[in-house]
Structure 1
Amino acid sequence: MATPYTQVLPPPRHQHFPKRNPTSKTVNNDRYFQNHPLILLIEKCHSIKQLKQIHAQMLRIGLFFDPFSASKLIEASALSHFSSLNYAHQVFDQIPQPNLFSWNALIRAYSSSPDPMQSILMFVNMICDGCEFPSKFTYPFVFKASAKMKAFRFGRGLHGMVVKGKRVGFDVFVCNSLIHFYADCGCLDSAYLFFESMQTRDVVSWNTMILGFVEGGCVDEALKMFDRMGEENVRPNDVTMMAVSSACGKKMDLEFGRWVHAFIERNGIKESLILDNAILDMYVKCGSTEDAERLFDKMGEKDVFSWTTMLVGYARAGNFVAARSVLNTMPSQDIAAWNALISAYEQSGKPKEALAVFNELQLHKKAEPDEVTLVCALSACAQLGAIDLGRWIHVYMKKLGIKLNCHLTTALIDMYSKCGDVEKALAIFDSVYIRDVFVWSAMVAGLAMHGRGEEAISLFLKMQEHKVKPNSVTLINVLCACSHSGLVEEGRAIFNQMVNAYGIIPGVKHYACLVDILGRAGELEEAEELINNMPVTPGSTVWGALLGACRLHGNLELAEQACNRLLELEPENHGAYVTLSNIYAKSGKWDEVSMLRKHMRECGLKKEPGCSSIEVNSVVHEFLVGDTTHPQSQKIYAKLDEIATRLKHVGYVSNKSQILQLVEEEDMQEQALNLHSEKLAMAFGLISVAPSQPIHIIKNLRVCGDCHAVAKLLSKIYDREILLRDRYRFHHFKEGNCSCKDYW
């Protein structure tokens, strides 16, 4: 009986694989063996183990040394569903003289791998060997690898090779890959010029250019290209419409997005899950959960992306009940879906809910937290001041061996800074080798909020010594540092150097910072002059900074002007009314206070309630003004009585100008002040936090002057360290003093 493994060539002399020798001759260089049983079996393999068995047989009978036969083995090992690039490369290295097909197979496989540089190296080796010249099947994948590596200069060199190889240079497949390369490297002008120079364009050419514009943020140009397709009678396909839908989403143009959806249905463009997902994503980004719902319910096929997009849509609309329902209903809950809900809560100012979902994820182990999960959770801890949980996440990362990249480093620095432990934030900053502009900016912001202005400026200068270019946010952070520390001259100098030294044109927020710097220092005339001469229209932050400065220095006339301008921009800004009320109250103008409060009631405006939180044994406790809902309320109020007695013994008198309404009875005035949320939190901290530990309090509004004075006294009377973070900065109270030096 004839065996399929008939020996056709003499076996190799050595048992081990021979090293590849480019100058050696192969036995055959055509497709003579393409119908050999072993070659046909390669196409039927389902695992790398089966392929290795065939490889062994090919070696035994000498078939491996036929270039065509070896190339089929390399193709299967590099490009099949069970591929092993490492094995494919080992096989390749044993071929005496690989043909172009073998080179192309490895170049193609590496271009899609996590290490695209190997694709480029394979190409360079092929050119250096000089045995094979690149074909139209070579260049597209080298361009793909170059795009992934952002190897612009190398890709430009490739472009030159394509131009010299005229026959290859006219191939549409090669040209399309060149457009993609330039677009992916951010050179949209070069991509567009090459597109225009093409003699022949297919729908892929148009799609590549449109996608390039969309991903490069040039959505108007992308939509113009789509219009041109119609003018030139090029029929769009599902990929075109996916790109156009994405452009509508980025532009948040719901009306045109609906037209695109109708165009797809009207022109019978092939429906696919990818296209449906693109339209769904467009509706969500345009804020239309109704349209998204209708499409989602009609979709015959849904994947994790579809469900997660719908979840994000509900969450962005503030419908967290529906978002949670989607998560519970999903056939498969991957980490992206959990991240979407955690992130939505965190970005909507609901850090407690975000951390509750994070804890649920940990408890049920339905998915493995990734970098996005941890960044969102740390951000929620930062908002809430939950340092115990933040520390736990940090330890958790270390246990899992998660290496700190710039995103995680920034999140950790931000969390520790906002939770009061700026020294730990500095330790993390000093421990990492790679620091991008966001890491530096986060550390500058951390020092700024803790009133360490000179250190913040020093770090800002050190950043430039390390050749890290500051961005717009960095400048805002360093200007805030100057503001909190009264560094007026330094603030002026940095602001004036923004364009020449840093190449950043001051925006509204930068002007607001300088107005704040000048205003806090009492330079109100200069601040007003700066606003009047601004090259951009003053925004609410600018007038808010001026109004806050007027409150500090009691300038009633300028305060009324600033408040009026602020309310023109934001008619429902209750904070503006409250600040002006404070100024009136400080001046004893109680009629004006009453008038303002009456106006607020008539307009349906309510003062944002003061809320203070404190973390004890990893549990966050919240207090509102006059709160009696806490389980230990009796003990808290007993402690408040004790505090009041001890304060009187040291001669403390309440600052009644902090009361926003006219309260005639003396006792009622003091009681109103004593019930402020930060005082309740301090009382709870004194009975709950160990004497050796600082009391950490987070206040959602600016701490009032009376509470600030009380906190200073309590730190001395009880010999306790109190860290209080309000809306703008940290106050470290110790031994009767505050880190802000009463400059706040």
Structure 2
Amino acid sequence: MELQRLHLKNTLVCLLENCRSMRELKQIHAHITTSPQFFITDRWFLISRIIFFCTVSQSGSLSYADTVFRLVPQKTLFIYNSMIRAHASRIHDPSSSQPLILYRQMLFDGITPDCITFPFVLKHCVSRVDGLVGSSVHAHVVKFGFHSDVFVQNSLITLYSQCGSVENARKVFDEMSNRDVVSWNAMVIGCLRNSELDMALELFRRVKKRNIVTWNSIITGFVQGGRPKEALEFFYEMQVSGDDMVSPDKLTIASVLSACASLGAVDQGRWVHDYLNTSGMECDMVIATALVDMYGKCGSVSKALDVFRSMKNKDVLAWTAMLSAFAINGNGREAFELFLDMETARVRPNDVTFTALLSACAHSGLIEIGRWCFRVMRHAYHIEPQVQHYACMVDILGRAGLFDEAEGLIRNMPMEPDVFVWGALLGGCQMHRNFQLGEKVARYLIAIEPLNHAFYVNLCDIYAKARRFDHVKEIRALMKEKEIEKTVPGCSMIEVNGVVCEFSVRGSPLVLMTEIKFVLSSLSDEIGRSINMSAVLE
């Protein structure tokens, strides 16, 4: 009898481990419930395995697990951990508190949490971005003696980083006696997410064994943090590093292409494209779209179009990237024709698509097409224009000198116009020397953002063109009095033989000013000789 019971129990455990559907699971559940041979402990053990299947398997059902869970009279730590894990991992509503409710119920039942419980409770706090509750859970971590567990500490680093408390995350990190690669990656990523790029770099340099997550984090973080040149340097360092089995993946390539796009480094972008072809890595939709974006922003529209045409199944992001490439390079009609092709291909545009299209019309002076696009997005595609669409439309009208229509559009906006809308109108005023309206708009922008130096400079420009030099002095005196100045120095970048060189108004240690002056002097002499020769020929 005992052997028969054990055999049946082991058989059902095996069936649960190999279960592939809820239909099979329910049959097993029925057998467990109706079998008279099991002890009560056997039955609840098998029930716990049913809950585990429902919460972990892709074929499981969380609602079924909830139903079974409520019927279990004596719940174990294993059952609670399974339920907390499931609700923390599958949560779609950030306002839900089910993992915390389960955790509190577990404590009420007198069950002590373990090193499995806390990472999932903290994961739930991360999804809610709830640092206050997370801090309370941290207190429980210390109370129950898991403050030195590496998995729990890694979860705490992620929690504090996600909630914007890098100081607390760093404190947990510094107090760790044993750190694994996840610990280092979590701290580096936390710094990058909170714009602490220098701290992230300091930690990155201390990592002894880097994996692909480490490299992708620092490259992507520096691209998104506005330091793309250093991101490219990390990529090349990655190529020659001694880290075993670490090769660039699709995320690496996409981030590096984004860096090239930001820098206008088309030679380096071509090198990455060649690397992609020779490495055998699949050029999927994401990578191909990144290539189109890179070539477009680097001014190589024909190359962007080649990549775009080679894509088999283009999604809306790919079409939008190509539209943007045409837009930023002043190819408005080509952008409009591409949009018509997009409609023919039955790819539904989104709000970003129309932003790119309207921008293309603005840069090419296509007033009627711009008006048509603005109407179509609302009436044909039921996309309500957002503030960026209004800014583009005001830019179109302002560049054409249609100030009455532009002001009417701004007055009828369903939302408050932002500085970009007013800035577009101001740009049109400067272009067409509409000093009266330009002065009004510039002063309004200064009232909105009194510390933005650009608006004061624009107002000075308007006064200078109107020959109102007393007002120019007045504005410059006001700027000096309020200590308003450009905080970030102006700079330009150029790619020479695959090397990105940066020129700043504050100077660059890599550039010899004497050489620059010599070249400028030579060019000036050459221009002078050309002018004199033209006069002789005439």
| TM-score, normalisation: structure 2 | 0.81
Answer yes or no: is 1:577 the counterpart of 2:456: yes
> Which residue does the alignment assign to 2:212?
335
**Which of residues 360, 363, 381 is equivalent to 1:481?**
360
**Which of residues 73, 83, 100 is equivalent to 1:205?**
83
In structure 1, runs of 5+ residues without a counterpart are 1-30, 36-67, 73-98, 109-118, 139-166, 185-189, 653-744
Question: Which secondary structure does the structure 2 equivalent of 1:423 belong to?
Answer: helix
> Which residue does the alignment assign to 1:79?
none
Once the two structures are superposed, residues 579-607 of structure 1 have per-residue CA deviations (whole angstroms, 9 ceiling, x without a partner) of 22222222222222233233333333323
2:250 and 2:276 mapped to 1: Cα distance?
A: 10
Answer yes or no: is 1:440 the counterpart of 2:319: yes
**Which of residues 306, 323, 330 is equivalent to 1:427?**
306
> Which residue does the alignment assign to 2:401?
522
**Which of residues 407, 410, 413 is equivalent to 1:534?**
413
State the shift of 1:519 in Å: 1.7
> Which residue does the alignment assign to 1:740?
none
User: AA paired with 1:509?
Assistant: Q
2:187 and 2:239 mapped to 1: Cα distance?
A: 23
**Which of residues 160, 171, 179 is equivalent to 1:302?**
179
2:307 and 2:517 mapped to 1: Cα distance?
A: 41
Query: After alignment, is 472-481 or 423-432 more displaced?
Result: 472-481
Given that 1:210 and 1:226 are in contact with CA atoms closer than 8 Å, whether structure 2 keeps it comes out as no
> Which residue does the alignment assign to 1:291?
168
Once the two structures are superposed, residues 286-328 of structure 1 have per-residue CA deviations (whole angstroms, 9 ceiling, x without a partner) of 2222101110122343221210121223344554443233223
1:577 and 1:193 mapped to 2: Cα distance?
A: 64
Once the two structures are superposed, residues 40-76 of structure 1 have per-residue CA deviations (whole angstroms, 9 ceiling, x without a partner) of xxxxxxxxxxxxxxxxxxxxxxxxxxxx9xxx9xxxx
Given that 1:515 and 1:530 are in contact with CA atoms closer than 8 Å, whether structure 2 keeps it comes out as yes
User: AA paired with 1:305?
Assistant: V
In structure 2, runs of 5+ residues without a counterpart are 32-42, 73-78
Kindly tell me the number of residue pairs found equivalent between the two proteins: 504
1:640 and 1:101 mapped to 2: Cα distance?
A: 85
Given that 2:147 and 2:153 are in contact with CA atoms closer than 8 Å, whether structure 1 keeps it comes out as no
Q: How does 1:214-225 map to 2 (within 5 A)?
A: 216=92, 218-221=93-96, 223=97
> Which residue does the alignment assign to 1:633?
516
Note closer, same or farther for the CA distance 1:268–1:192 as it changes in structure 2 (3 Å cut): farther
Q: How does 1:258-407 map to 2 (within 5 A)?
A: 258-266=135-143, 272-366=149-243, 367-407=246-286
User: AA paired with 1:556?
Assistant: F
Once the two structures are superposed, residues 590-631 of structure 1 have per-residue CA deviations (whole angstroms, 9 ceiling, x without a partner) of 222233233333333323543222222112233345969733
**Which of residues 514, 525, 528 is equivalent to 1:642?**
525
State the shift of 1:277 in Å: 1.7
Answer yes or no: is 1:491 the counterpart of 2:491: no
Higher-helix-fraction structure: 2
2:213 and 2:55 mapped to 1: Cα distance?
A: 31
State the shift of 1:497 in Å: 2.9
Given that 2:148 and 2:177 are in contact with CA atoms closer than 8 Å, whether structure 1 keeps it comes out as no
Answer yes or no: is 1:616 the counterpart of 2:493: no
> Which residue does the alignment assign to 1:722?
none
Note closer, same or farther for the CA distance 1:645–1:316 as it changes in structure 2 (3 Å cut): farther
State the shift of 1:536 in Å: 1.8
**Which of residues 294, 302, 306 is equivalent to 1:415?**
294
User: AA paired with 1:226?
Assistant: L
Note closer, same or farther for the CA distance 1:643–1:231 as it changes in structure 2 (3 Å cut): farther
Given that 1:611 and 1:624 are in contact with CA atoms closer than 8 Å, whether structure 2 keeps it comes out as yes
Q: Which has the larger radius of gyration?
A: 1
1:530 and 1:396 mapped to 2: Cα distance?
A: 48
1:555 and 1:261 mapped to 2: Cα distance?
A: 62
State the shift of 1:431 in Å: 0.7
Q: How does 1:534-613 map to 2 (within 5 A)?
A: 534-607=413-486, 608-613=488-493
Note closer, same or farther for the CA distance 1:650–1:597 as it changes in structure 2 (3 Å cut): farther
Question: Which secondary structure does the structure 2 equivalent of 1:276 belong to?
Answer: helix
2:122 and 2:13 mapped to 1: Cα distance?
A: 38
2:125 and 2:483 mapped to 1: Cα distance?
A: 37
Question: Which secondary structure does the structure 2 equivalent of 1:404 belong to?
Answer: coil
Given that 2:197 and 2:225 are in contact with CA atoms closer than 8 Å, whether structure 1 keeps it comes out as no
Answer yes or no: is 1:513 the counterpart of 2:367: no
1:603 and 1:648 mapped to 2: Cα distance?
A: 46
Q: How does 1:669-684 map to 2 (within 5 A)?
A: none
> Which residue does the alignment assign to 2:34?
none
Question: Which secondary structure does the structure 2 equivalent of 1:360 belong to?
Answer: helix
Given that 1:104 and 1:137 are in contact with CA atoms closer than 8 Å, whether structure 2 keeps it comes out as no
Once the two structures are superposed, residues 83-135 of structure 1 have per-residue CA deviations (whole angstroms, 9 ceiling, x without a partner) of xxxxxxxxxxxxxxxx9887766x56xxxxxxxxxx68xx99xx9xxxx9953
1:475 and 1:180 mapped to 2: Cα distance?
A: 42
State the shift of 1:172 in Å: 6.7
RMSD over aligned CA atoms reads 4.0
State the shift of 1:433 in Å: 1.1
Given that 1:179 and 1:192 are in contact with CA atoms closer than 8 Å, whether structure 2 keeps it comes out as no
Given that 1:180 and 1:209 are in contact with CA atoms closer than 8 Å, whether structure 2 keeps it comes out as no
**Which of residues 337, 346, 371 is equivalent to 1:458?**
337
Note closer, same or farther for the CA distance 1:192–1:626 as it changes in structure 2 (3 Å cut): same
| Percent identity between the two aligned chains | 36
Note closer, same or farther for the CA distance 1:506–1:226 as it changes in structure 2 (3 Å cut): farther
Note closer, same or farther for the CA distance 1:290–1:100 as it changes in structure 2 (3 Å cut): closer
| TM-score, normalisation: structure 1 | 0.60
User: AA paired with 1:354?
Assistant: A
> Which residue does the alignment assign to 2:380?
501
State the shift of 1:373 in Å: 1.5
Note closer, same or farther for the CA distance 1:322–1:198 as it changes in structure 2 (3 Å cut): closer
Given that 1:600 and 1:606 are in contact with CA atoms closer than 8 Å, whether structure 2 keeps it comes out as yes
State the shift of 1:430 in Å: 0.7
State the shift of 1:417 in Å: 0.9
2:303 and 2:55 mapped to 1: Cα distance?
A: 48
State the shift of 1:174 in Å: 4.9
Given that 1:182 and 1:191 are in contact with CA atoms closer than 8 Å, whether structure 2 keeps it comes out as no
User: AA paired with 2:71?
Assistant: T
State the shift of 1:578 in Å: 2.2
